[in-house]
Amino acid sequence: MKKTIYIILYISLIIVNIEAQTPNRLECTFLGDIMAHNVNYRMKNYNHIYEGVKDILLSDDLTFANLEFPIVSDRPYSTYPQFNVQPPYVTAAIRAGIEVVSLANNHSTDQAEEGVLKTLASILLLKDQAGGNLYYSGIRGNINQSMSPVTIYKNGIKIGFLAITQFLNIPQEHPFVYVVDYNNEKQVKELKTLLLRITPQYDLFILSYHGGVEYAEQPDPKKALFFKALIGYGVDIVYGHHPHVLQPFEVVNYKNAQKLIIYSMGNFISGQTWRVNPKDPYSTWANTGDSVLLRVSIEVRNSEAHIRKVNPIPISHYIKPNKDIVVQKLESLAGKSLYSSWSNYYKIRLTMMQKFLQTLNCYN
């Protein structure tokens, strides 16, 4: 009898040990800014924005995006410089497969502090409508509540997601929006203390940061140093946005584990390409229409996250003949016969994107 018990215990220990050594895997996709200029929200059907790429967004475990606007249902849609959308604009993004959103960016207070609180109410209602499958970070309704990440459980992995912005266009009287300026030593020190305390509680920690220099194709040196320091504070993926153009991303080795730094994802959708001339594919405004869907394969072993593969899928804005702006795979656009001079435009943009990606040497 005792021998049988020992055998059972021995087998149980073997099973537990095998399970501990078996890695859990996760597929995540990172997008750039989802913006809402008047040419975007005047569309009759917002679902069309995502039709060219939603097959990718629906095939992963989690898709991340930055919502660069307040969501205030009792105020009209409004464009730059003070954005606002109503919930249907965000519902289309959720239907397309976007599950995790940053609400911390320089436009978070465009509808004043009341708009921040109404955005929180809107996102909670949208979460309920999505059956709970929507996660957010970057704002809070209680100013006495400390800055804290949202916790997500997926594929046996405990994920922490924290969204922060460098600044706000309209300053806030009360700290409803998470703000940390990487030029402010006191704020950075406080963030470091927080991250060193909370990141060990997670298998995977992702920090979304909205900041830097707009339209710069390379991160400014101080931001780059800050992002690398975040890895040392326990962050596994630094997810950057705000410049509205794609900047490099890199996989770095930290204590024998591969981590990911994304300096800027650029735009996912905006109206900034409205001014693009298809005969001038080299303009700065053309850069605001190109980005990638950054598909990241992650493996967690013994509560340590490892970046296994980074696969960038080039995308671009396409202005349809009816003037709707939608997102499509750049390779697909480059292979189509399009009206005006757009066919040649996308062939050149694809070549430029391919050359850019070839310089990174951090994906396979």
Read off the pLDDT band of 337 (50, 70, 90).
confident
Q: Specify whether the CB–CB gap between 273 and 289 falls below 8 A.
A: yes
Q: What SS3 string covers 3-56?
A: HHHHHHHHHHHHHHHHHHHCCEEEEEEEEEEECCCHHHHCCCCHHHHCCCCHHH
Total-model pTM? 0.93
pLDDT higher than 60, residue 357? yes
| Structural domains present in the chain | 24-358 (3.60.21.10)
**11-20, 98-107, 201-210, 240-249: least confidently modelled range:** 11-20
β pairing state of 135-137 and 249-254: unpaired
Separation of CA 235 from chain center:
15
What mean pLDDT comes out for the span 27-55?
Answer: 98
Q: What is the pLDDT of residue 22?
A: 76
Read off the pLDDT band of 1 (50, 70, 90).
low
What mean pLDDT comes out for the span 152-168?
Answer: 98
pLDDT higher than 80, residue 198? yes
Q: What is the pLDDT of residue 177?
A: 98
Paired residues of 66 in beta bridges: 33, 102
Tracing tokens 């997601």 back to the chain, one arrives at 161
Tracing tokens 């189509």 back to the chain, one arrives at 336
Q: Kindly provide the b/e burial profile for residues 196-228, where b requires at least 16 CB atoms within 10 angstroms of the residue's own CB.
A: eebbeebbbbbbbbbbbeeeebebeeebbebbe
pLDDT higher than 50, residue 363? no
What mean pLDDT comes out for the span 210-238?
Answer: 97
Spatial CA neighbour of 79 closest among 247, 240, 274 = 274
Read off the pLDDT band of 362 (50, 70, 90).
low
Read off the pLDDT band of 275 (50, 70, 90).
confident
Average pLDDT, the chain: 93
Tracing tokens 């970046």 back to the chain, one arrives at 307
Q: What is the pLDDT of residue 340?
A: 80
The sheet with strand 157-165 has its strands ordered as 150-154, 157-165, 204-210, 237-241, 257-262, 249-254
